[in-house]
Amino acid sequence: MTKQIRQLDRVVIRFAGDSGDGMQLTGDRFTSETAQLGNDISTLPNFPAEIRAPAGTLPGVSSFQVHFADYDILTPGDAPNVLVAMNPAALKANLADLPRGADIIVNTDEFTKRNLAKVGYQSSPLDDDSLAGYVVHPVALTSMTVGALAEQAVSKKDAERAKNMFALGLLSWMYSRPYESTLRFLERKFAKRPELVAANIAAFKAGWNFGETTDSFSVRYEVKPAKMLPGTYRNITGNAALSLGLVAAGVRSGLPVFLGAYPITPASDILHELSKHKRFGVVTMQAEDEIAAVGAALGASYGGSLGVTTTSGPGVALKSETISLAVALELPLVIVDVQRAGPSTGMPTKTEQADLNMALYGRHGEAPVAVIAPKSPSDCFHAAIEAARIALTYRTPVILLSDNYVANGSEPWLLPDVESLPDLRVEFATEPNGEDGTFLPYLRDPQTLARPWAIPGTPGLEHRIGGLEKADKTGDISYDPANHDFMVRTRAARIETIPVPDVEVEDPDGDARVLVLGWGSTYGPIGAACRGLRQRGLSVAQAHLRHLAPMPANLDEVLRSYDRVVIPEMNLGQLAHVIRARYLVDAIGYNQVRGLPFTAAELETMLEEVLKNV
């Protein structure tokens, strides 16, 4: 039958079901199809901390949200236009996020009395008026998938597992997505089991054909490609981009990259990705614990490699003594902290920005380090290169503060020209530098205050290492008070005098009285909120910090140029406290610690109230 085709400029879809329903895979494949078409994309995966939470329960719901448009977008979207609910738990867990009029595609096969009772439904919402404000599409996903695979050489259990491919086929038809890449993906994924390749492809095509032939879906939608800078793009997650940034840093520095890591959510994917790149001189070691991981990374730096360790907040706490040792040794070390909700184990799969204080101050003694934070998934690539540049140039540990939202989210990434990336080559000490022919391991470069980097075993460059205070220039153990004072102040000055780019302010009208200052993953929601306010004729300025230690030299002037400074953070005001203490600016904190990113709508509402009271 002929179906109406309707043009849209943007759509937000959320796939939701049990952890075993394959929602992350389904969302990822839909995103890949969408990227191939050329839309701008932003995604938000959301899943339980448990490997397999109780089936059919609210804590076990896993979801994947994708926002795609024919223009540049900044967030995964505040509210879904379409919800695919694989069971009652998925419907109940996500219904409150849907605006009235949204489409809901429900797997009716799972709306049994038992499954309804698990989540507190007294009766099926499909049979009463509770969903009257939505456009509900009942689809027997499970039984239709099993029926479509009746002649395939798979068990009923394996056939039922393919229902996510049926759903993907249906949504791909609804939104006119290309699907050839998904078919190739299935051939690769199940290459060792041809029967599963055939079954999943058959399920996908059955979903596509169902959309084409059923009366339940009378409209098909199209979202045209976005206008983007020319070049080659790929869809990439923050963790993948960060990994490739570290690989690029190794190539541009000419140094082997050594990763010492202990698996921890949500940083483990960096270990998985880097382990694939041995041909670029990357060595990965899965250590027995966090302390061993950072110790090995620091040892690799001592030996002339770019030492890296990856973790989340609990791991940074365990690594803190060795990070302090790296401060004392004055060796390059990159510490990646993919933040998650705490304290302690907290909510491992939920996002937060609560490790800023720990990154800035969480070590014993005076042990300053450089701290930077990427603003988006693709920016993780460039942030990783910048972290390596600072670490190698200034012989210092650098903490790279990503977070769960950035790490697992994805967006289009314009592949850079490798030759345009910074030259990170370093010169190792090869000859004695003392006037008397001796080697002075703490004789500093007058520009960077960095000490020489001597590869162990270089003839004539033998020197002490260890955590005891070193004497200026000679590196001998020293308990002299004046020397200790000098070394502490010099290490602090080395960080504070690192030249970083000025903070840029987005103030199109040039007359804004309110500045919104952000860091890390708040960039997208803040930007979308400011865009919304400006479209309504309200003037507001936005600035974003990538470098948190040291901070940009022009930040003081920028802060004092506005009547109000508002700082939204996914913590209880850590950057706001720093800004108040350092710049004596009465910054207004807007804070949440729900394990979820801000929505643009809530920030827009909050900022509108601030603007009214200026």
Contacts of 119 (CB under 8 A, 6+ apart): 56, 57, 58, 88, 89, 92
Topology of domain 234-420 in CATH is Rossmann fold (3.40.50)
- What's the DSSP call for residue 415? P
- Using 50 as the pLDDT threshold, list the residues of the chain that sit under it: none
β 4-8/219-223 pair status: parallel
Q: Residue 266, preceding bond cis, omega within 30 degrees?
A: yes
Q: Which residue's structure tokens are 């503060």?
A: 401
Which helix (H) or strand (E) is 41 found in, with range? strand 40-46
Gap between the Cα atoms of 154 and 167, Å rounded: 19
The H-or-E segment that residue 408 falls in is helix 404-408
Is-same-fold flag (234-420; 505-612)? yes
Three-state DSSP state, 565: strand
- Supply the pLDDT for residue 1: 61
CA distance 119 to 56: 8
| CA atoms 293, 294, 300, 302: torsion sign | negative
Q: For residue 503, give the DSSP letter.
A: P
**Neighbouring C-alpha atoms within 13 Å toward the C-beta of 557:** 7
Cis before 550 (ω within 30): yes
Helix (H) or strand (E) holding 591: strand 588-591
Query: Which residue in 91, 97, 142 sits closest to 121, CA to CA?
Result: 91
Q: Point out which residues pair with 10 in neighbouring strands.
A: 69
Domains of the chain, residue spans: 4-223, 234-420, 434-499, 505-612
- Rounded CA gap, 12 and 81, in Å? 5
Of the CA atoms within 13 Å of residue 298, those in its CB half-sphere come to: 25
**Other CB atoms within 10 A of residue 350 CB:** 24
CA 387, 388, 389, 395 torsion-angle sign: positive
CATH number for domain 505-612, candidates 3.40.50.300, 3.20.20.70, 2.30.40.10, 3.40.50.920: 3.40.50.920
Q: Across the beta sheet with 541-545, what order do the strands follow?
A: 505-506, 541-545, 514-519, 564-569, 588-591
Q: What pLDDT sits at residue 2?
A: 73
User: Across the strands, what pairs with 236?
Assistant: 411
Token pair listed for 251? 């190539």
Q: Over the stretch 189-246, which tens digit does the pLDDT of each residue have?
A: 999 999 999 999 999 999 999 999 998 898 999 999 999 999 999 999 999 999 999 9
Whole-number Å distance between alpha carbons of 611 and 614: 5
| Residue 331 DSSP symbol | -
DSSP 3-state percent helix, strand, coil across the chain (nearest 5): 40, 20, 40
CATH number of 4-223: 3.40.920.10
Q: Look at residues 381, 528, 520 and name the one whose alpha carbon lies nearest to residue 76.
A: 528
**pLDDT (0 to 100) of residue 50:** 81
The string of pLDDT tens digits covering residues 49-71 is 887 788 899 999 999 999 999 99
Locate the DSSP E strands across 243-352. Answer: 257-261, 282-286, 306-311, 333-339
